[in-house]
Structure 1
Amino acid sequence: MTTYADKPWLKSYPPGVPAEISVDVYPSLVALLEEAFRKHARRDAAVCMDQRLTFGQVDELSSALGAWLQQRGLARGARVAIMMPNVLQYMVTIAAILRAGYVVVNVNPLYTPRELEHQLKDSGAEVIIVLENFAKTLSEVIERTQVRHVVLTSLGDMLGWWRGPLINFAVRHLKKMVPEFRLPLTDGRTVTRFNQALSEGARMSLKPVQLGADDPAFLQYTGGTTGLSKGATLLHRNVIANILQSEAWFAPMLQKIGDKPLTIVCALPLYHIFALTACYMLGARMGMMNLLIPNPRDIPGLIATLRNYRVNMFPAVNTLFNALANDPGFAKLDFSELVISNGGGMAVQQATAEKWSRITGCPVVEGYGLSETSPVATINRLDLDKFNGSIGLPVPNTELAIRDDAGNDVPLGERGEICIRGPQVMAGYWNRPEDTAESIGPDGFFKTGDIGVMDADGFTRIVDRKKDMILVSGFNVYPTEIEQVVNMHPGVLECAAVGVPDPHSGEAVKLFVIKRDPALAEEDLSSFCHSQLTGYKRPKYIEFRDELPKTNVGKILRRELRQ
């Protein structure tokens, strides 16, 4: 009998992708990045609002900012937070923090004061580099945190000597996008402008720091959709491994384009692990230009930006694929050089994937990962000609097992919790040994909390989160299945299914729907579900809404809908 230990996925591997690669080739992530900066020095590393930044410039500027940070007297391994959207400053800041010997703490700029305070206190961050648009939030909590130094940046800071000030004036005074704030300078706190830190740092020398593969590189906070956010401690070796694993998977397809500079769309926020690895890190490794999108919710603005570039890679979540595919302007773009559309972060809906493929001619290739796995654990074959609804195959050096609640492997084809082992799996949760012990077993397998099924060819499908499962009269109902079906209805734009208390069956399915067709009625959907789903899976309640609550990356917050 075939078992997970037999690695059934290897027989389905695409040509040119090895089962094992060497992941211990760099002493630290800094060594990998500095090699990339030198190798691709003349190539563009990023473009934002038509302003370009070469890898050579990222090298020079991050060295200056890193030297300035070192002069603050921080100990090796100190945590430095970044709180901004996708702007050129982000490209410089990540490299600066790592090169100076510190740990990056990525912060969602749309956090509430409560959420920000928790993350700053939990991580022990001593410095924060923040876009001034979000400084008011920081000002409300800073005195209750360990933050001693604030670096304030503005949207136009790296957009040119004449355009930058104009953009800053418009953002502050015409659009009024910078709420008034006052940052306290008590207890020796300092506030420095980003460009001032760069110019001061340019007169200093960055002191090389001996970092090891087992030093933390990132505290990547996760679990916001399930409760208290926890910091996944990603070591230098975890991130290096995932960059090299991703490169091994993508290289055969990208080599078809030839050795020329490639462009990757970075519309997902860089503070999220998906964009951090798939855009920033892989982009540096392979000399790609990141097309930075500060506000991906502005779909007309995003389409206007895309009009000026021929993109090669487009990582996105279902929400973004869906929004673009449903905008008439998107179909008018040039997709002649788009070779990879990789989906992750949440389940990609078949209806969305099919529409995207029809418009772009490039099928959505779904992958799977978590903050705790740096993030890439599985990816589909890139040579698939159509969407298959699976999360694909484990990437090189990665093992996947499907297990029951007792930790035993279930037979292939049966449901169980997806568990992952590989060099990209985090060291643990920051300062939470009990949570770490609960999530990583003695055999090194990380328990994802996702329920999946692996077939005989090694392809895995997610059927749902453990906690999102709905129990109807003793039958397990998985919301993702309901949503996949309902999204096939032409009158539905988006939907979410949750369990609600029911006096007869314990729980019943409630469906929240955003209409594509204003004429869509409850009876139409009920009839459709009746034809597609067995009795206990059918939604008992249907509620139409104008919008659904989501995280900033676009995941629907079922927890909020349940409440």
Structure 2
Amino acid sequence: MIDDDALRADIEKYPNLVRWFETCCQRYADASAFSCQGGTLTYAALNEHASHFASWLQRSPHLRPGDRIAIHLPNLLQFPVAVFGALKAGLVVVNTNPLYDRDELKHQFVDAGVKAVVTLANSAYLVEQVLPDTDIREVIVTQLADLHPFPKSVWINLQARYIRKIVPRYKIPNAVSFKSCLNKGQKHAYRPVEIERHQLAFLQYTGGVTGISKGVMLTHHSVLANITQLKTVMNQVCVPEEEVAIAPLPLYHIYSFVLNGLLMLENGAHVVLIINPRDTEGFVKEISRWRFTLFSGLNTLFVDLCQNQDFCGLDFSNLKVTVSGAMSLTRFTEGLWTEITGCPIQEGYGLTECSPVVAVHPPNETRRDDTVGPPVPLTEVKVVGTEGESLHPGEVGEIWVRGPQLMAGYWRQPELTRKTLREDGWLVTGDMGTLSDEGYIEVIDRKIEVIKTAGFDVYPSEVENLIACHPDVLECAVVGVPDDELGEVIKLFVVSRNRRLTVKAVREYCRERLTSYKVPKLVEFRAALPKTNVGKVIRRQIREEEISKQTKKRRHL
């Protein structure tokens, strides 16, 4: 039984994330913290590099505590060094997707008021394009292997530039190399910064899957609270300095960042960073080198791996925890992964606005039906109806959350903050779901994605989860398409492994398993579905494409 008062005291134990980070690094100084592409940083080296980077930032004439710095990097050893160095200098970290196009990059830099950016040489040409429209005054450029030992670092960097030719030309006057920052910072003592726990630590942008990406203000306190809450769950199975965690999802995403970039440090785990999980062959080759105990991913990644023969042949005898988040986990995927690895998947639920975890299945407990587990400690969850009334167990309504891990609000959007974060402390999530008698949460779908057809509500995830069990279906998506008679009709998009699969066969499969109004009226086969860089299917984009098609047809009538 968890003592709530003791847990609250544990959250207040550290005044900020910097003190917590330094404590972890001192406790596990000689242990390996992060590895990537054959390079490894110990906890002591991680803290030392972070201090050197912080020292350089502190001496920049363009930066002051509270300014925003964008970390525009894939999963490299430089990522945690840059993040913790920025925090030690009192800056606010803006984790930025390295695969953003020019417009997306400009929007985030301008909206956040970014003053500095750490970018990879491979992406620097994009930063160059948007610089004139931003307030950025410091550009730090790193190369792939800057933190690898000599001469391996030189070979990898030269190979990237001249053999693989994956570093487009760029010209950024006054840009500074990351290695130069560390070298110059090393010559000056780092000056600790006074940071209050309720000051901003991260400006974390939402994925924008269901709308425009928003800057979520996460404080040192809210993130520390979530780390502490998750620690109580993971400590049931994690042994200090013995865990090896595979981190294939990008650290710029809040789910991977808190789990792999922060929580793992609490137990001195060794995190193996994967730069490009879409390169399945390279991914499998890398993880075959490790006797990994923890693995985090999401539904589409699990499916891709389970279809790879080399992955299926790996040794999974040490794997004791697999965590799924960021999107719904289908029963088909769960069963397939468990069959191949022997390790059940523990699904969790969270939002960027909750730093991010709200609930997770305890790792030593079998998953209950379609739930995502109970709320993490000190977290209240209720399901409410259309009038804000609390609903009974099993009734479908909107999920509301209250707890110490909630955001401070949306960046420069006070009206939206008031609508989402109520005065009584409840966060309106926009997710539909139910609560069981024991308090276990089932997340059904996003409220704005519920399909209303012929007076009925249809939840896309329910239909998708059923169709995903079809042996010939690789992945699928369900959206509502406007219809003059029914309001909306259900359209199913299928990626199939069998070219002979027909629309008739798919609809018949659905008729046998779904109530009539839930059966897709329209079915379309596609070679692929649009996804975020994390791998989450973007229903919004599919629906917008369909509406655009309808508009064009009407114009030609």
Q: Same fold (TM over 0.5)?
A: yes
2:144 is matched with 155
CA distance in 2, matches of 1:347, 1:18: 31
State the Cα deviation string for residues 444-499 of structure 1 (Å, max 9, x = none). 11111110011111111111101111111010011000100000100000000001
Give the 3-state SS of the residue equivalent to 1:451 in structure 2.
Answer: strand
Alignment-mate amino acid for residue 288 of structure 1: A
Which moves more between the two structures, 359-368 or 155-164? 155-164
Which deviates more, 193-202 or 502-511?
502-511
Conserved? CA contact 1:363–1:387, under 8 Å: no
* Matched residue type, 2:349: Y
Q: Which residue of 1 aligns with 2:199?
A: 215
Contact 2:141–2:177 at 8 Å: present in 1 too?
Answer: yes
Q: What's the CA shift for 1:152?
A: 0.3
Q: Separation in 2 of the partners of 1:402 and 1:345?
A: 20
CA distance in 1, matches of 2:3, 2:512: 44
State which of 169, 184, 190 in structure 2 corresponds to 1:180: 169
Is residue 465 from structure 1 mapped to residue 449 from structure 2 by the alignment?
no
The residue number in structure 2 matching 1:340 is 321
AA paired with 1:231?
Answer: G
Counterparts of residues 385-396 of structure 1 (less than 5 Å): 385=366, 388-396=369-377
Rounded to whole Å, the distance in 2 between the matches of 1:17 and 1:326 is 40
How many Å apart are 1:386 and its aligned residue?
5.0
Please name the residue that 1:237 is paired with: 221
Secondary structure in 2 matching 1:213: coil
Alignment counterpart, residue 273 of structure 1, candidates 246, 254, 257: 254
1:55-74 → structure 2 map (5 Å cutoff): 55-73=43-61, 74=63
The CA deviation string for residues 148-202 of structure 1, in whole angstroms up to 9 with x for no partner, is 010000112122211212111221222221222222x3xxxx3100111111111
**Which position in structure 2 is the counterpart of 1:427?**
408
Match of 1:113 in 2: 102
Letter in 2 for 1:238: S
2:516 matched to 1:535? yes
Contact 1:82 1:106 in 2 (8 A): yes
Q: 2:13 aligns with which of 17, 25, 41?
A: 25
Deviation at 1:228, TM superposition (A): 2.2
Per mean C-alpha deviation after superposition, the further-off stretch among 365-374 and 510-519 is 510-519
Matched-pair contact (CA < 8 Å) for 1:350–1:387: no
Match in the other structure for 2:209: 225
- 1:126 is paired with a residue whose SS is strand
Aligned residue type for 1:69 = L
**Structure 1 alignment gaps of length 5 or more:** 1-15
2:433 corresponds in structure 1 to 452
| CA distance in structure 1 between the aligned counterparts of 2:323 and 2:369, rounded to whole angstroms | 13
Partner of residue 419, structure 2 = 438
Q: Work out the CA distance in 1 between the residues paired with 2:310 and 2:445.
A: 34
User: 2:35·2:270 contact (CA, 8 Å) conserved in 1?
Assistant: yes
1:434 and 1:246 map into 2 onto residues whose CA distance is 31
> SS of the residue aligned with 1:389?
coil
Q: 1:406 and 1:104 mapped to 2: Cα distance?
A: 38
How far apart, CA to CA, are the structure 2 residues paired with 1:502 and 1:487?
26
Distance 2:207 2:297 in 1: 20
AA paired with 2:131? Answer: I
Provide the secondary structure at the position in 2 that maps to 1:412: coil
Shift of 1:381: 2.3
CA distance in 2, matches of 1:350, 1:546: 23
User: For residue 339 of structure 2, what is the aligned residue in structure 1?
Assistant: 358
- Give the aligned partner of residue 11 of structure 1: none
Q: 1:254 to 1:223 in 2, by over 3 A?
A: closer
Corresponding position of 1:289: 270
1: distance between equivalents of 2:525 and 2:198?
50
1:93 aligns with 2:77: no
Distance 2:66 2:448 in 1: 35
- Structure 2: which 5+ runs fail to align? 545-557
CA distance in 1, matches of 2:135, 2:241: 45
User: Matched residues in 1 for 2:329 and 2:457: separation?
Assistant: 22
Any idea what the Cα deviations from partners look like across 1:353-403, whole Å, max 9, x if unmatched? 100001111100100001110111100122234563211100001000111
CA distance in 2, matches of 1:338, 1:212: 39
**Percent same amino acid at aligned positions?**
39
Alignment match of 1:35 (pick from 23, 35, 40)? 23
What is the TM-score with the length of structure 2 in the denominator?
0.95
Contact 1:17 1:252 in 2 (8 A): no
Query: Any conservation in 1 of the 2:241–2:270 contact (CA below 8 Å)?
Result: no
Aligned residue for 1:124?
Answer: 113
Specify the code of the residue in structure 2 equivalent to 1:473: A
Letter in 2 for 1:31: R
CA contact under 8 A between 1:43 and 1:261: conserved in structure 2?
A: no
User: Given that residues 361 and 367 in structure 2 are in contact (C-alpha distance below 8 angstroms), is that contact kept between their aligned partners in structure 1?
Assistant: no
1:12 aligned residue = none
Q: CA deviation at 1:518?
A: 2.9
Query: In the alignment, is the contact (CA less than 8 A) between 2:358 and 2:379 conserved in 1?
Result: yes
Distance 2:283 2:177 in 1: 29
Please give the alpha-carbon distance, in whole angstroms, between the structure 1 residues aligned to 2:104 and 2:144: 23
Shift of 1:345: 0.5
CA distance in 2, matches of 1:179, 1:226: 32
CA distance in structure 1 between the partners assigned to 2:276 and 2:312 by the alignment: 20
- Alignment equivalent of 1:77, drawn from 58, 66, 71: 66
Question: For residues 415 and 386 of structure 2, what CA distance do their matches in structure 1 show?
Answer: 18
1:39-50 aligned within 5 A: 39-50=27-38
CA distance in 2, matches of 1:348, 1:552: 18
Q: Which segment is superposed worse, 387-396 or 299-308? A: 387-396
Which whole-Å CA distance do the structure 2 matches of 1:445 and 1:277 have between them?
A: 22
